[in-house]
Amino acid sequence: MTASEQGGRLGEEFFTPGTSSFAEFLTAHRPDLLPTRKPFPDHVRAAPDRFPHGTTVLALAYRDGVLIAGDRRATMGNLIAQRDLEKVHPADDYTAVAFAGTVGLALDMVKLYQVELTHFEKIEGIPMTLNAKARRLAGMIRQNLGQAMQGLAVVPLLTGYDDSAPEGERGRIFSFDVAGGLYEKQDFHAEGSGSPYARGALKKLFRRGMSRREAALAALQALYDAADDDSATGGPDINRRIFPIVSVITEDGFERLAEPETEELSREMVAQRRTRPDGPNATP
């Protein structure tokens, strides 16, 4: 029974000691609110062109922490469903998550994950470790396996600043598969339909100890290469002034680069592409 059904009073479940996981609390008491519940019978599969899908997101470690970025396009089959989708979100002060896959489910999963981390900290009195945050997100993805098998997959990319790690290795990157498999990536990684091209670009552009500006330009170059070869990935839209989202996490916490800064870097990168359409060569 809900609080409104009891005249505004909370039910007993809210006062019963239990798990520090908000997702597990919902599973026990209100499973209908979970984004991982199956929307179709087992024999039904979603039509791939009926639901918006987000595409390319990437992350790379740099001198001060870790950078995470994503293009803005969502597609439904051969149609552009949205041009200004936000695929990069803070999970807490020192963690960020980006996603590729079914947009509606991904946004709900991100919101649930944000609440999950806040709920744990309020119940336990301390924040989760970064490893625990990665495992908790892997568990949420595993709960979505039924929907993934029906064609509604969500593939997140998790980054965080870990002050317990050695100096120079505090920016960490985690990737996942649709079954909840967890993999820590070194230096850089990308997910989504344009990820093979983004990873290829980062492979030639990445170097250890990059400044924030250098890392941001490398990310924008990689997203440009992804958009150049993958129609589902959107490049910088100069006319509409829609540019990729670029965020960083350092010892000072999560920061989304201001739009004027992202626009300036995007215009600089596009100007360079006029003379070098295939992008810069690998740095020695």
Catalytic positions, please? 55
* Alpha-carbon span 148 to 155, nearest angstrom: 10
- Distance (Å) of CA 251 to CA 26, 63, 106, 172: 33, 11, 27, 13
**Residue 191 forms beta bridges with which residues?**
57
By CB atoms closer than 10 A (0-12, 13-18, 19+), residue 123 is middle
Q: Does residue 71 contact residue 87 with C-beta atoms inside 8 Å? A: yes
If residue 203 lies in a helix (H) or strand (E), which one and from where to where? helix 195-205
d(CA 133, CA 115): 12
88 strand-pairing partners: 98
Q: Is 243 exposed, middle or buried (0-12, 13-18, 19+ CB in 10 A)?
A: buried
Is 153 in contact with 106 (CB distance < 8 Å)? Answer: no
User: What is the rounded distance in angstroms from the CA atom of residue 69 to the CA atom of residue 173?
Assistant: 12
If DSSP codes are grouped into helix, strand and coil, which group holds residue 132? helix
